[in-house]
Structure 1
Amino acid sequence: MANDKLRLTEELEKKALGEGFAAFGIAPADQAPETAERLQNWLRSGGHGDMIWMEERSRQRGQPKELWPDVRSVIMLGMSYAPKTDPFALEKVTDHGRISVYAQGKDYHDVVKKALKRTARWLVEQADCEVKVFVDTAPVMEKPLAAAAGLGWQGKHTNVVSRDHGSWLFLGAIYTTLDLELSPAGQDRCGSCSACQDICPTNAFPAPYQLDAKACISYLTIENKGPIPKQYRKAMGNHIYGCDDCLAVCPWNKFAVASAAQKAFLPRAELAAPALADLLAMDDNAFRKIFSGSPIKRSGRNRMVRNALIGAGNSADQSLLSAVIKLLNDDEPIVRGAAIWALAELDHDRFEHEKSRRQIEETEASVLVEWESC
């Protein structure tokens, strides 16, 4: 029986690697109690910001059996998206926006989930079992489970770090009713390194292994639906969708190798180095066309233009001025508000001129705050 379990686990790993995964491991279905406790402490601290869904299903997130009582093993899989180019290449190219590496190619949800389903289907054909597959859209704590399955460890930036793939892994989970051979848990190898903590533009790490999402550029540019808080706008630079800084400086990245599926994540030309001028000119139809098939499509046009306006305000590029002024007329308050800030940064005299004639006509409280405080 033990040999059969080991043989099935080995064959399953071979199948998963053939489907494009680069990392494989089996975690127990009963997570350590401290995992759920850490989650509750983080939620109580408000570190999750406006991501209310994390509160609503926190019990299921804290323990796999709370989500599915029949689960007995958790198959954790990682797909590499290690970039071929330097994530910092556009840092000083201020008239262009920086999009996180993971969002420059195909939507990873689709790519990873299809590979998970093929792998899970194979397992059902080989053994009498039930399965459920998850990719980032269900109450599953992928990172602690990945560490428990030996894919790596949760680094000081709170993401999974792998000895072989650095900080560049998409994670997926297959819950199964089978008892599979468990993998040795990953061991923390961050040591005294603080590179990811030191580089964070907004100081989003209160301490190693702790993230305040409310200060994280990824949260601010993607999840946050309102205005970007003023204390973070200058620090954002030209980050317009996510931020890779803490991941990109991880020393373990030097060992990262491409997985068979990495070609799906190769950057599309229009997403690798988007011009801020083009983004500022987008209406909803243009947004849908540009970001079709990308995870960015979920955030919508208004948030992307808001982010691009913050980038414009940080650019010192006077050629963007006319596009910024045009967006003072936008229908969306978060766009108008960001345009006010960008205008004040680019040309304060023109800001005062526009304020004198526009402020009296504005009815949205959040936009009035921008006119008064810039």
Structure 2
Amino acid sequence: MLSAEILKVGSGDVGKKYPGGETAALELLHLRVQLEEKTFAKNEFMPNQTVPDLMGKPMSMSPYLRFGCISVHRMFWMIRDTYCKVNSAEVAPTYLTSQLIWREFFYTMSATNPMYNRMKGNPICLQIDWYDDDESYQKWVQGKTGFPWIDAIMIQLHKEGWIHQVCRHAVSSFLTRGDLWISWEKGFDTFEKHLLDADWSVCAGNWMWLSSSAFEKFLQCPNCFCPVRYGRRMDPSGEYIKSFLPVLKNMPLKYLFEPWKAPLKVQEEAKCIVGKDYPKPMVKHSDVSKRNKKHMNDVMQVFKDIVVNHCAPSSEQEVYDLTWLPEIDLERPTKCTADEFCTKVH
């Protein structure tokens, strides 16, 4: 268990301090419940979902759950009891605590699987032929991909040891089936090394799911997050990017998420020349996403008759909920996290 002393994560001026122990956990839990209560009163849930507060104080309970500072049982029932009190209901809907349920599910799936955090020898993981490209992997790790949204996330990971769930989804997709086509195992190793709330079962489970290696209705998400449009969606003011990438602090918002498109005069005025002060994009997303979609379709053909004994999200809507996207477009029920969807929300 974490001691009650103050733990400073990461290095540099941006680093935050995280108090450990049960007392701090209970204080944060009560703040969370108060926030949830106000949200329930408006007939909403997961208040930090549609527009995540990436710059605010971390409200996640995951580090405290990870180190046993508070029990998942206590958090589960406090959330559900609060909903019932606010709405005069006898039973709270399952989706309120779906993230906690998935957390426990990943534990059960890993309990008898010593190879759960690896592809080879893992009976529930698809054996995908990922690229072995250490140079590209290192650019991703160091936050030098040339995509500000992705790079800012990786910089925060190193400085603070924590990143929001939407940020984890973004960099996971980018490393694996979205852009670089590099194994989720490398991403898992990176998160396990740097995340304050790194949890072997949950971390590996999420990496397998987001890379389409397990835990979905066989490759139901052949599309991927766009590292430009998804960034605009989650950081509309650009404050998050500018905080962790000060080299871009003077870049106009119009070009902040894709600075390579800024005219040279604009780059000069912003004191940030792409290719000199900030890297050029390491890939062309529109091209590699199409290539990777073909790879996914090829994988589907190879493994289409293989039965994998695991569970998946119960519906498209649950996929949207778990990836923190707005309500599903019912007119396009075959889409998941496609680039086309992102054009509607930036």
Task: Give the TM-score, by structure 1 length.
Answer: 0.27
Q: Which has the larger radius of gyration?
A: 1
